[in-house]
Amino acid sequence: MKKLDRHGYLFIAPFWIVFLIFSIYPVALTFYYSFTNYTGAEGEQLVGLANYTRLLGDTYFIEAFFNTIKIWGLNFLLQIGGALLLALLFSDLQLKLKGLAFFRATFYLPNLITISSVALLFGILLDWQHGSLNMMLMKIGIISDPINWLTQPVTAQISVSLILTWMWLGHSFIVVMAGVSGISKDYFEAALIDGATRWQIFSRITLPLLKPILLYIMITSLIGGLQLFDLPMLITDGVGAPDGALNTMVLYLYNQAFKYNNYGYAAAVAYGLFAITLVFSIIVFKGMFRKERSPKGA
Amino acid sequence: MERNAEARRIVPQTEEQPDRSERPLKLTPPKQKKAWFGKSLIYVGLIALTIACIIPFLMMIINATRSNEEVLSGFSLIPGNSLAENYAALSSYVNIWSGFKNSLIIAVLVTVLSGYFSAMTAFGFAFYQFKGKNVLFVFMLVMMMIPGQLGLIGFYELSKNLGLLDSFIPLIVPAIASPFTVFFVRQYLQTVMHPSLIEAARMDGASEMRIFHTIALPMMMPAIATMSIFTFIGSWNNYIMPLVLLFSPEKYTLPVLMGFLKGSQVAENLGSLYLGIAISVVPIMIAFLFLSKYIVSSISAGAVKE
């Protein structure tokens, strides 16, 4: 048996060779660069913690952090709230809604589209002067003057949040729905017979049982959200305008590295982002576990 | 499994299960009219949401058939007749189909490599006892948590030093190491395949490689198919990596090409720009029409497995 078990190494060898070269080595190399003043040319020098001290006092990075949190936060609330609401409606035993497959597929559709197409599409649909959205809203009579969707800081952030919600609501809905359908119908029926209200069923049965799924959505959405890049990059041509309101952390990283050739500093930005992601993940985990002990539910 | 256990704790088993036949009667509330009204309201909301999901695409398709002047002049739900001109204007600037082809080549190879090698790794982890196995597996799980952007700069430098910039290789080969797929497939394999099956095949004189290819791989197929959908979509939509690594326009993937469309001359003709976007979107929508059932169940499976 000993000899056969050595085959295990052979089976996992391709994975580990590629993993070492293309995943672990780049992460380690980035870590090394974060302590240097590397600019893309040979002969970088070690600068100690200079990049990290600079990062802590970098108002652009701090601003990018808050922008990312704001954009992600609004999107997350809408996304998870919407997904929960939809899942509750479709799992409600009294309502017996029809067309789950159709709605689920339609709501998911935007998630499948290449994000650069989405950005380009909304970039022109939301255009102040020639955008179809303003034109349509004015034609219906909801607004009388065109709205500067993408050129005012607050509306630009809200627009990006809403586009993200548009893209991800269907995905979250499918995931939450998968969780809800995993709960035995007997619990809901028993609760109904006992005269429980919708809210009681939701807060005492559905929500506690959905905790693992919600944790999964939160963590994946958090990691993805903190890395928000494509949409702001494409909508603002990488500038992060208006007033830097769409400058996110990864956009800042990208510009520092590939626009200004500050590879060393950009590497520190990457690790700063990693630290932030780690802290937030721990907060989410802790928060979820604390709730589990309190009798109130959520 | 765990969830059900938890559920059983919360809802006591004793006071459930009334007579099955009379249940519908009990569940139907007496306020029929009000319920009917609420239900229609919900459907209206759902249809509004459906429209919100579809209308950007609808505007895109309609505007793709209208001339620049028509698009500028206002919103309309009636298609124009400038589709041919728009296509001519678009294809004189960029070759959208080459972006399509590049994305397709990369996504297919990524999906195949990731599926095959993840299955192999999962098999190795699941059915052999070797030194350091658990350490390696835990290490892989830890690395899975690390966001992709962390190694971006190192990855770029590595590709530069290997002479792989402006090539598809760094976009394809790393797919051999897909920790999440390995994790998912291994979990699946442990539930569907019993070690005695391998023992039996060994008795019959099959080599380890042959066991993997003829017995294990087919059994893993459902899990691989599930993950393949994610892998394919992920590769197809990947933007930052090809943006950083590719320089020649003829090598651009579709997302990168679309990104550059905005700054190009095409953007001067909004009809052509809409058409360009439509070409990048419509094939995916058509594919989705046929595959939506599988995609939805993949997402569900991926989440519940967690």
Residue A107 and residue B49: Cβ atoms within 8 Å? yes
Which residues fall within 8 angstroms of residue A204, CB to CB, at 6 or more apart? A191, A196, A297, B10
Is residue B35 classed exposed, middle or buried when 0-12, 13-18 and 19+ CB atoms within 10 A define those classes? middle
Q: B103-129 burial string, b = 16+ CB within 10 Å, else e?
A: bbebbebbbebbbebbbbbbbbbbbbe
Scanning the structure block, which residue is given the tokens 């802790």? A286
Scanning the structure block, which residue is given the tokens 């069923």? A201
A12-31: average pLDDT:
94
Closest CA to A169 of A239, A229, A67, A87: A87
> Do the beta carbons of residue B254 and residue B280 sit within 8 Å?
yes
Q: Distance between CA A219 and CA A216 in Å, rounded?
A: 5
Q: Distance between CA A278 and CA A280 in Å, rounded?
A: 5
pLDDT of B15 above 60: no
pLDDT of B25 above 70: no
A128-145: average pLDDT:
78
Report the pLDDT value the prediction gives residue A93, as an integer from 0 to 100: 77
Q: Which residues from B are below 8 Å from A110, CB to CB?
A: 53, 56
Angle (nearest 5°) at CA B38 between B34 and B39: 115
Band (A122; pLDDT cuts 50, 70, 90): confident
Q: Please, what is the average pLDDT of chain A?
A: 86
> Do the beta carbons of residue A274 and residue A89 sit within 8 Å?
no
Residue B281 and residue A114: Cβ atoms within 8 Å? yes
pLDDT of B24 above 50: no
Report the pLDDT value the prediction gives residue A160, as an integer from 0 to 100: 92
Q: Distance between CA B73 and CA B285 in Å, rounded?
A: 28
Please provide the DSSP assignment of B121-142 as one string.
Answer: HHHHHHH---TTHHHHHHHHHH
Report the pLDDT value the prediction gives residue B31, as an integer from 0 to 100: 55
How many helices (H) and strands (E) chain B has is answered by 16, 0
Contacts 24+ apart (CB under 8 A), A270-273: A270/A30, A270/A34, A270/B149, A270/B150, A270/B151, A270/B152, A270/B153, A271/A30, A271/A31, A271/A34, A271/A52, A271/B150, A272/A52, A272/A55, A272/A61, A273/A226, A273/A227, A273/A249, A273/B147, A273/B149, A273/B150
Q: Distance between CA A169 and CA A212 in Å, rounded?
A: 18
Q: Distance between CA B262 and CA A172 in Å, rounded?
A: 30
List pLDDT tens digits, range A258-291: 999 999 999 999 999 999 988 988 888 887 776 5
Report the pLDDT value the prediction gives residue B13, as an integer from 0 to 100: 39
> Do the beta carbons of residue A169 and residue A83 sit within 8 Å?
yes
What residues 245-264 of chain A have any CB closer than 8 A to a CB of chain B?
250, 253-254, 257-258, 263
Region for A182 from its dihedrals, namely left if φ exceeds 0, alpha if ψ lies in -120 to 50, beta otherwise: alpha
Report the pLDDT value the prediction gives residue B5, as an integer from 0 to 100: 41
Residue B23 and residue A130: Cβ atoms within 8 Å? no
Distance from CA of B99 to the nearest CA of A (A): 12
Q: Distance between CA B247 and CA B299 in Å, rounded?
A: 34
Report the pLDDT value the prediction gives residue A101, as an integer from 0 to 100: 86
> Do the beta carbons of residue A91 and residue A180 sit within 8 Å?
yes
pLDDT of A96 above 90: no
Report the pLDDT value the prediction gives residue A3, as an integer from 0 to 100: 59
Residue B16 and residue A189: Cβ atoms within 8 Å? yes
- Ranking A53-62, A156-165, B135-144 by mean pLDDT, the lowest is B135-144
Q: Distance between CA B171 and CA B174 in Å, rounded?
A: 7
CB–CB contacts below 8 A, A to B: 316
Q: Please, what is the average pLDDT of chain B?
A: 83
B165-185: average pLDDT:
93
A55 vs A94, higher pLDDT: A55
Report the pLDDT value the prediction gives residue B292, as an integer from 0 to 100: 80
Distance from CA of A72 to the nearest CA of B (A): 16
Report the pLDDT value the prediction gives residue B111, as an integer from 0 to 100: 95
pLDDT of B166 above 70: yes
Interface test with A, best of B153, B171, B176, B264 (most A CBs within 10 A): B153
Under DSSP, the state recorded for A130 is T
pLDDT of B105 above 90: yes
Report the pLDDT value the prediction gives residue A55, as an integer from 0 to 100: 92
A292 vs A213, higher pLDDT: A213
Most confident by average pLDDT, A146-155, B74-83, B209-218, B296-305: B209-218
Query: CA distances (Å), B96 to each of A9, B105, B158, B198, B249, in order?
Result: 44, 14, 30, 49, 11
- Ranking A57-66, A103-112, A114-123 by mean pLDDT, the lowest is A114-123
Kindly state whether A213 is in contact with chain B, defined as any CB-CB distance less than 8 angstroms: yes
pLDDT of A209 above 70: yes
Report the pLDDT value the prediction gives residue A290, as an integer from 0 to 100: 67
Report the pLDDT value the prediction gives residue B170, as an integer from 0 to 100: 95
Would you mind telling me the total number of residues written for chain A in this entry? Answer: 298
Q: Which residues from B are below 8 Å from A191, CB to CB?
A: 11
- Enter the ipTM: 0.81
Q: Distance between CA A157 and CA A148 in Å, rounded?
A: 12
Closest CA to B104 of B280, B302, B298: B280
- Ranking A104-108, A195-199, B16-20, B125-129 by mean pLDDT, the lowest is B16-20
Under DSSP, the state recorded for A46 is B
List pLDDT tens digits, range B212-261: 999 999 989 988 988 888 888 888 888 889 999 999 989 999 889 888 88
Report the pLDDT value the prediction gives residue B150, as an integer from 0 to 100: 86
Distance from CA of A259 to the nearest CA of B (A): 11
What residues 26-85 of chain B have any CB closer than 8 A to a CB of chain A?
26-29, 35, 38-39, 42-43, 46, 49-50, 52-54, 56-57, 59-60, 63, 71-72, 74-75
Q: Distance between CA A254 and CA A248 in Å, rounded?
A: 10
Residue B147 and residue A227: Cβ atoms within 8 Å? yes
B142-165: average pLDDT:
88
List pLDDT tens digits, range B139-153: 988 887 787 788 899
Question: CA torsion, points B127, B131, B134, B139, in degrees to nearest 10?
Answer: -120
Report the pLDDT value the prediction gives residue B298, as an integer from 0 to 100: 79
pLDDT of A196 above 80: yes
- Ranking A124-133, B57-66, B96-105 by mean pLDDT, the lowest is A124-133
B86-113: average pLDDT:
91
Q: Which residues from B are below 8 Å from A135, CB to CB?
A: 74-75
Closest CA to B146 of B184, B118, B177, B122: B177
Kindly state whether A292 is in contact with chain B, defined as any CB-CB distance less than 8 angstroms: no
Kindly state whether B135 is in contact with chain A, defined as any CB-CB distance less than 8 angstroms: no
pLDDT of B4 above 80: no
> Do the beta carbons of residue B244 and residue A258 sit within 8 Å?
yes
Report the pLDDT value the prediction gives residue B304, as an integer from 0 to 100: 66
Band (A135; pLDDT cuts 50, 70, 90): confident
Q: Which residues are bridge partners to A36 per DSSP?
A: A46
> Do the beta carbons of residue B156 and residue B245 sit within 8 Å?
yes
pLDDT of A297 above 50: no
SS3 A150: coil
At A146, list the tokens: 């065109």
At A135, list the tokens: 């034109």
Interface test with B, best of A2, A10, A20, A23 (most B CBs within 10 A): A23
Percentage of chain B lying above the pLDDT 70 cut = 87
Is it true that the peptide bond before B255 is cis, omega within 30 degrees of 0? no
pLDDT of A294 above 80: no
